Structure 1
Amino acid sequence: MPTPKPVADSIIAPMSFPRAGGGEITVGGQKYNWTLLVVYRGKHCPRCKRYLTILDGMRNDWTAAGFDIAVVSADTQEKAQADQEEFGWGFDLGYDLNEAQMNLLGLYVTEPLSANETDRRFAEPGTYVLRPNGSLIAVSISNGPAVRPDLSELLDGMIFNKKNDRPARGTV
């Protein structure tokens, strides 16, 4: 059972992940741009690959709208780098998402069905949009691979929210 979900409009404390290709990704805390954080299940998930390929195709649209993109999974460095090389994704790809971080994000955590799936527990999908001050304006958490927000619809909604300075919803 997951920990309580993150509360809309709450501030996410900075959270860092090693980045495929070197360096580090930090989400939360004070930033210049808004942040789109996508948590994916890992290399073993073909549905994730399709979703992330769609996201990569929209990367320029998200960037033009003032968003930084961070994508992360519980995968190892080797698996994350293999995916980035195979698919040519241009967004920042993090790895080694740990269970404490999964819990802070309110993610569902899954035990692998077998060693053929993966060798460790992993997070089910989550999508978060953070304002530059680190507050959550949108949260979408799933308990399985088939439920994820439509990225075009999400971008359109976030552009509207930015232009109109809309508050986070679902705060009660």
Structure 2
Amino acid sequence: MNVTIKAHFNKQTKDSKKELVQFYVKGDDEHRPELNQLTREVVVLSIKGLEDVELTAEFKKSSKDSKKTILDFEVKGDSSAAQTFEFYKLAGSDVELTITESQMDIDEFREQQAEYREGVKGTIAKDGTVDVSREDDPNQAELQLDDEEAAAAAEIAASAAGGDNPDDDLPF
């Protein structure tokens, strides 16, 4: 399924866990039944005028109030930076948005999102040693702070925990 609508590219937000884009539907396109059929599906977004620039996203929700219809999408994490940059340059403007149903199902999409967000986890010991070894990668490097860095880390940790530093001449 493929639907082209006139929309206002309202905003894009990105944090460490997800990337969201939001569009306001304009005119009679608000009443298109295809929009409801694509909700909660994986789709490919493209904007007229940006050739070869597409974003794969999950169509999170469609909400409607008395003034507008809002479309929210969660972008797939491994989109290229060049593509997303070109796409997001149009944020805040009116666009002709094409929403195409993807061949990927929602479970595959979420699995790829989880893999993309997977990071290195570790612990910091009281002596300043950072252990980032992972069971699935025994060759992962271990980082150890030298004495000066360890002392600075301990001072920061004590300060954060509410401890006082007698050498500190600050009023607070």
- Same fold per TM (> 0.5)? no
Give me the TM-score of the superposition, normalised by structure 1: 0.23
Give me the TM-score of the superposition, normalised by structure 2: 0.23
More strand by share: 2
**Rg comparison, structure with higher value:** 2
Structure number with higher relative contact order (C-alpha < 8 Å, ≥ 6 residues apart):
1
